[in-house]
A and B are shown apart, each in its own frame.
Chain A
């Protein structure tokens, strides 16, 4: 197991470097910079600022600087939000993104696994068809359509929930629902497929023949194998949750990581872009590694 983890780490570290180098390269190659906006700075001031951020040095020194920042996890200060360090912006916005992301994924697991299992157990019934059609709908309705429709319904018509902004628990409900819809749908489909395959297998027949109750057969025996596709989907889901939160944070005006990332990209706030991209890449790849380890642990067929 340790060898497996080490081998995965050996792939993970270059991957992180590739992401950061690509981002850095894109920023460098693109014409213009943070200061090439409509409001021109006096030449002397711009020169000083560029010197402060090391932008006047040759490219390899700048690349070295960027790499040093990543290794020391010190991303400097934002260009746009003056006086705020990149680290403080990430520390402030991460809890917002992480809480809606995590809640959405938990909700998706709960609803998705339940629906998928019921659909598999009642294969070809009305329930099965209805839940799978609903799942397809969940996959097809973009979250930037679903979110506003929910706002229209629950905030602007029924006046039950706040339409946007960060605050208490009621503010969380609509963003979490919007974000989790597509994962519910995917997880329901994966669960149904996995369960159908497992329910046909011999060991389930054995379990039934032993006279186990249906409940024990499903919960103890079928679930364990049938949910493996769901476990392996966790990795990609994390990456997609990230893109999902970008949209959801935009719709609901939440001060999360995704919102800052889009703003930073549009503002060409280079330290902030590099900082957020590095953070996301490292977090994502580490979580992927964790998921793989858990998968290898759960599924005895995986050899490492």
Chain B
């Protein structure tokens, strides 16, 4: 990276070569482009072992790329910060509700039945008699449920939607892009024209209509609907990225070698080409997660997403707005948690992009 100062570092948090003190260990040369490719000279590539290891999806010379990328990522303070926060929030969301049940004895949807008035909408760190208490660090909600447990459980749902919808978009986008890029010619032209048309659709409008029309009667059904709806509208950019990668890779010797040894076309595409295009795919997937989470929150905020008794950060914020004037913490806690998570995911995604491919840019 240091030897190529002409690459513009456009994004926040990218450590500039100028900032690195002189005399530190020399950075490895930029290998992102070539590193994607299995480095084996053509005459050796046809050797059976190489073909087989490529078949297994091994990244032969790529290991140094991944190590380089990891080192570059660790040098980026904001990305490291993002990584730590993402890990902490995820861990808290996954384990928190169980710990609270063990320690304090209530589940996220526990409503004290004896006298709701006593515990309803309490400020943070307050006991029913108004004194300081550790029982509800984020206060309680409208129905007397513990806000911390609700936020953590909401985090599970938000993360689940973010990850699964991203996986859906990953599967569609990677297959579509890889097939289009590999086949080329008329088919590619047609497939990409379709992507162009879909690109210009006001898809969120269609998602709203879809979710409003097909409201599922069960919360789980609604969740599945969300996965499908959000996943099926966020694969377009992924398809374009993968297509570009595959097009630049498909004329390399290792593909020729694979074809010469009689590997079938689907196998070439998915076992040889796709693994080599993994860097940009990972970067874009990391950036898709926060955008999908934001869409989910937006839909849940409008009452179209996650249905009670399940809650996500978006639906918790929507509930909190009802009582904004009197109990602002009911909005602040889920809102700030979500903002922190998205902030960190965005920094992590940006950092990964800079680390894996200094030349790739967001749009």
Whether both chains belong to one complex is answered with: yes
A120 nearest in chain B by CB position? B10
Contact, CB under 8 Å: B202 / A246? no
Q: How far is the CB of B287 from chain A (nearest CB, A)?
A: 11
- What 0/1 pattern do residues 25 to 55 of A give for CB contact below 8 A with B? 0110111000000000000000000000000
Residues of chain A contacted by B13 (CB below 8 angstroms): 132
Tell whether A162 is near chain B: CB-to-CB under 8 Å. Answer: no
Contact, CB under 8 Å: B209 / A196? no
Contact, CB under 8 Å: A144 / B212? no
The residue from A139, A142, A200 contacting B346, defined by CB atoms under 8 A apart = A139
Contact, CB under 8 Å: B206 / A26? yes
Q: How far is the CB of B226 from chain A (nearest CB, A)?
A: 15
Contact, CB under 8 Å: A246 / B8? no
Known interface pairs A27-B213, A129-B12, A136-B347. Does A151 touch B324 (Cβ–Cβ under 8 Å)?
Answer: yes
* Residue from A31, A148, A277 with most neighbouring chain B CB atoms (10 Å): A148
* Residue from B13, B19, B208 with most neighbouring chain A CB atoms (10 Å): B208
Known interface pairs A27-B209, A145-B317. Does A140 touch B10 (Cβ–Cβ under 8 Å)?
Answer: no
The residue from B19, B204, B335, B340 contacting A149, defined by CB atoms under 8 A apart = B335
Residues of chain B contacted by A14 (CB below 8 angstroms): 197
Number of interface residues of A (CB under 8 A): 59
* Residue from A14, A29, A265, A285 with most neighbouring chain B CB atoms (10 Å): A265
Tell whether B342 is near chain A: CB-to-CB under 8 Å. Answer: yes
Tell whether A294 is near chain B: CB-to-CB under 8 Å. Answer: no
Contact, CB under 8 Å: A15 / B201? yes
Of A16-24, A74-82, A217-225, the one with at least 4 CB within 8 A of chain B = A16-24
Known interface pairs A142-B335, A148-B324. Does A247 touch B302 (Cβ–Cβ under 8 Å)?
Answer: yes
Contact, CB under 8 Å: B336 / A145? yes
Contact, CB under 8 Å: A142 / B297? yes
Contacting A at CB under 8 A, from B339-354, are 339-340, 342-343, 346-347
Known interface pairs A11-B196, A26-B213, A140-B343. Does A197 touch B8 (Cβ–Cβ under 8 Å)?
Answer: yes
B16 nearest in chain A by CB position? A124
* Residue from B12, B302, B339, B347 with most neighbouring chain A CB atoms (10 Å): B12
Docked pose: A22 CA to B301 CA in angstroms: 24
* Residue from A31, A149, A247, A285 with most neighbouring chain B CB atoms (10 Å): A149
B82 nearest in chain A by CB position? A136
* Residue from A139, A152, A243, A280 with most neighbouring chain B CB atoms (10 Å): A243
Contact, CB under 8 Å: A144 / B12? no
Contacting A at CB under 8 A, from B296-315, are 297-298, 301-304, 314
Tell whether A5 is near chain B: CB-to-CB under 8 Å. Answer: no
Residues of chain B contacted by A239 (CB below 8 angstroms): 202, 204
Q: How far is the CB of B272 from chain A (nearest CB, A)?
A: 34
Q: How far is the CB of B86 from chain A (nearest CB, A)?
A: 12
Residues of chain A contacted by B213 (CB below 8 angstroms): 26-27, 29-30, 265, 268
Contacting A at CB under 8 A, from B9-30, are 9-13, 16, 18-19
Docked pose: A265 CA to B338 CA in angstroms: 27
The residue from A23, A140, A262 contacting B206, defined by CB atoms under 8 A apart = A23
The residue from B12, B320, B336 contacting A133, defined by CB atoms under 8 A apart = B12
Contact, CB under 8 Å: A196 / B8? yes
Tell whether A266 is near chain B: CB-to-CB under 8 Å. Answer: yes
Residues of chain B contacted by A91 (CB below 8 angstroms): none
The residue from B12, B212, B339 contacting A141, defined by CB atoms under 8 A apart = B339
Contact, CB under 8 Å: B331 / A148? yes
Docked pose: A144 CA to B334 CA in angstroms: 11
A239 nearest in chain B by CB position? B202
Tell whether A110 is near chain B: CB-to-CB under 8 Å. Answer: no
Contact, CB under 8 Å: B208 / A261? yes
Residues of chain A contacted by B346 (CB below 8 angstroms): 136, 139-140
- What 0/1 pattern do residues 191 to 220 of B give for CB contact below 8 A with A? 001001100111011101110111000000
Known interface pairs A19-B206, A148-B321, A265-B213. Does A247 touch B197 (Cβ–Cβ under 8 Å)?
Answer: no
Contact, CB under 8 Å: A19 / B202? yes
Tell whether B260 is near chain A: CB-to-CB under 8 Å. Answer: no
Residues of chain A contacted by B19 (CB below 8 angstroms): 124
A14 nearest in chain B by CB position? B197
Tell whether A273 is near chain B: CB-to-CB under 8 Å. Answer: yes
Contact, CB under 8 Å: B324 / A156? yes
- What 0/1 pattern do residues 164 to 180 of A give for CB contact below 8 A with B? 00000000000000000
Tell whether B155 is near chain A: CB-to-CB under 8 Å. Answer: no
Docked pose: A261 CA to B304 CA in angstroms: 13
Given A135-B12, A149-B331, A193-B10, list of 6 further CB < 8 A pairs?
A15-B197, A15-B201, A27-B213, A140-B340, A140-B346, A142-B338
A residues lining the B interface (CB < 8 Å): 11-12, 14-15, 18-19, 22-23, 26-27, 29-31, 123-124, 129, 132-133, 135-137, 139-142, 144-145, 148-149, 151-152, 156, 189, 192-193, 196-197, 200, 229, 233, 239, 242-243, 246-247, 250-251, 261-262, 265-266, 268, 273, 277, 280-281, 284-285, 288
In the assembled complex, 20 residue pairs joining A and B whose CB atoms fall closer than 8 Å, in A order, are: A12-B200, A23-B206, A30-B214, A132-B11, A135-B12, A136-B343, A139-B346, A142-B335, A144-B301, A145-B338, A148-B335, A189-B10, A242-B202, A242-B204, A242-B205, A247-B301, A262-B208, A262-B302, A265-B209, A265-B212
